[in-house]
Amino acid sequence: MIIQKPKGTYDLLPEKAFSRVYAESKIREIFDLFNYREIRTPTFEYTLLFKRSIGENTDIVSKEMFTFNNSQYSLKPEMTAPVIRAYLENGLYNQSPLIKLYYISNMYRYERPQAGRFREFSQFGAEAIGSSEPFIDAEMIVLAAFILSEFQIRNYKIKLNNIGTPDERKKYLEKLFNYLNKFKNDLSGDSKKRLQKNPLRILDSKMTEDRKIIENAPRLYDYLEQSTIKNFEQVQSLLSGLGISYEIDYFLVRGLDYYTSTTFEIVSDELGAQDAIFGGGRYDLLTKQLGGKPTPAIGFACGFERFFSLMEKYEYCIPEENKCILYIVTSGNKASVFALNLIYELRKSGFKCEMDYLNRSIKSQMKEANKINAAYTAVIGNNELDSGKILMKKMSDGNQTEININNINNFLINENKTGKTG
């Protein structure tokens, strides 16, 4: 019996892997354009890091983390907390008052696999640490929209809200609890648990029975102070000035405890029930929660799996892999030894080459050259080695050119310059 991959994981086969690498490279170029620098953190962290930052009562910490070694360590379920941990531990705040970082990394959550959601998944995201100005809020949302436009993804919505500070939420939470408590028997199972521990999280529920109740719930926005509202209006004004369309969703709270003030999601109807592409917001208290000085910060994350699903739906054109420029067909051991040395030299010159490693017939080797779409083939046997001459066959039209066996490199350089190898 063949051992299969664990449930909720997937194999990234060569064709998809090439597409992923291309997309990652393009995303890195965009982040660089916005002056964000890459950061990489360990695959696992102390479990306490996520309990302090995300919140012990969140689904991620209470039900979804891969935790091991007597609960001391956990595979990272998200990247913001590890980034802030690295920011504090390595004193990045000493380098500049504003640190702009991005990441592309695998995450791990032990949750029920579903469309676009896996137990091992990839995310890319950005974090801007050090500014409380509405300009950085606007830039973060613009950056996410810019990435979508660069990959020709359309028909998405930007949802925006402001969830204020913990102090602003106190009075609201009292009102929210009293309202939801009237419907506690009608809430979903998870929301019944959240009602006592963190009723704000119920607003993030996607369950149908919860959504009906939430529709008439009191709005957190009505309990915000004037300074917070003014800041939020500035964010909106900046986005409008940049031609970025958005809609206010007063019940958008995001699923993690560390969020404050500006929160946002970018959603697409193309994704079905799990419609979020980007999610993010401010987390101005997280550095303090993790032992540092209070430092304003904002960020977003995007799941690669859903992002790729949209790329496919919109038929985004991924360039083809570089084709093999030369397949050397060999006849006999002496020719194979010569070919092995030859392609090593050609590869050092930057040419993608291949030869036979299965001792196949010339006919089978030619079939293989066709299969991998090689631009040229050259047959090398004892006669070619003795004469020092070979025929370079162009596979697209069958034309053959006789050249000196030692001039293959120059021949390929000239053909590459004139574009004939394509």
Question: Residue 59: what pLDDT?
Answer: 65
With cut-offs at 50, 70 and 90, classify the pLDDT of residue 126.
Answer: very high
Contact 384, 405 (CB under 8 A): yes
Question: Residue 112: what pLDDT?
Answer: 73
> Do 326-413 and 14-164+224-313 have the same topology in CATH?
no
Q: Which pTM was predicted? A: 0.89
Best CA proximity match to 125, nearest among 154, 105, 155: 105
Question: Residue 94: what pLDDT?
Answer: 96
pLDDT beyond 70 at 212? yes
With cut-offs at 50, 70 and 90, classify the pLDDT of residue 123.
Answer: very high
Question: Residue 63: what pLDDT?
Answer: 67
Choose between 166 and 334: higher pLDDT.
Answer: 334
Please tell us whether the domain made up of 14-164+224-313 is placed in CATH 3.30.420.40: no
pLDDT digits (tens, 9 = 90+) for 378-414: 999 999 999 999 999 999 999 999 999 999 999 999 8
Q: In sequence order, what DSSP letters do the residues of 375-393 get, joined into one string?
A: SEEEEE-HHHHHH-EEEEE
Question: Residue 207: what pLDDT?
Answer: 84
Token couple for 49? 């890091």
| CA distance from start to end of the chain | 44
| Average pLDDT over every residue of 279-305 | 94
Best CA proximity match to 258, nearest among 41, 76, 74, 80: 80
User: What proportion of the chain, given as a percentage, has pLDDT over 70?
Assistant: 95
pLDDT digits (tens, 9 = 90+) for 80-91: 999 999 999 999
User: What proportion of the chain, given as a percentage, has pLDDT over 90?
Assistant: 67
pLDDT beyond 70 at 175? yes
- As a whole number, the mean pLDDT across the chain is 91
For the chain, the domains span 14-164+224-313, 326-413
- DSSP class of residue 15 equals H
Q: Kindly give, in sequence order, each residue whose CB lies less than 8 Å from that of residue 200, ignoring residues fewer than 6 positions away.
A: 163, 169, 173, 176, 220, 253
Choose between 347 and 203: higher pLDDT.
Answer: 347
List the single range of 38-52, 63-77, 129-143, 279-293 with lowest mean pLDDT: 63-77
Question: Residue 64: what pLDDT?
Answer: 79
Q: Kindly give, in sequence order, each residue whose CB lies less than 8 Å from that of residue 346, ignoring residues fewer than 6 positions away.
A: 326, 353, 408, 409, 412
With cut-offs at 50, 70 and 90, classify the pLDDT of residue 256.
Answer: low
**Total H helices, total E strands in the chain:** 15, 16
Best CA proximity match to 133, nearest among 277, 238, 220: 238
pLDDT beyond 70 at 156? yes
pLDDT beyond 80 at 351? yes
CATH number of the domain located at residue range(s) 326-413 in this protein: 3.40.50.800
| Average pLDDT over every residue of 146-175 | 92
Token couple for 184? 């506690």
Q: What is the C-alpha separation between 272 and 248, in angstroms, rounded?
A: 21
pLDDT beyond 70 at 291? yes
